[in-house]
Amino acid sequence: MPAPKPPEFRRRALDLVAAGEPVARVAKDLNISESCLRRWMEVDAVDAGRKEGLTSAEKKELVELRRRNRVLEMEIEILKRASAYFARENVLPKH
């Protein structure tokens, strides 16, 4: 898989298409595939609010929240197991 292009490169490509340059020509001139450029156009349309969907910021937040949720679920599972162990062993401190 090729390395990701910097945001400035993507912005330049999108600006060329917005200025009326054909997608095929811009893609060829910048040495990227047409499908890649069209995907960038779709993401840009969503981010700009011209099209329905999750914005890049929302997608990033969703990934972070799902990751955090997995960590919290693992922590809960560990606490449940520890609680069950101490209850079984009856070694809970008495106050």
pLDDT digits (tens, 9 = 90+) for 68-83: 999 999 999 999 999 9
- The predicted-structure confidence for 1-18, as pLDDT tens digits, reads as follows 777 899 999 999 999 999
State both tokens at 57: 């910021």
Those residues whose C-beta lies under 8 Å from the C-beta of residue 18, and which sit 6 or more positions away, are none
Q: Which CATH class is domain 1-53?
A: mainly alpha
Q: Is the pLDDT of residue 91 over 90?
A: no
Cα–Cα distance for residue pair 50/56, rounded to 1 Å: 14
Q: Which residue has the higher pLDDT, 17 or 91?
A: 17
Domain limits, the chain: 1-53, 55-90
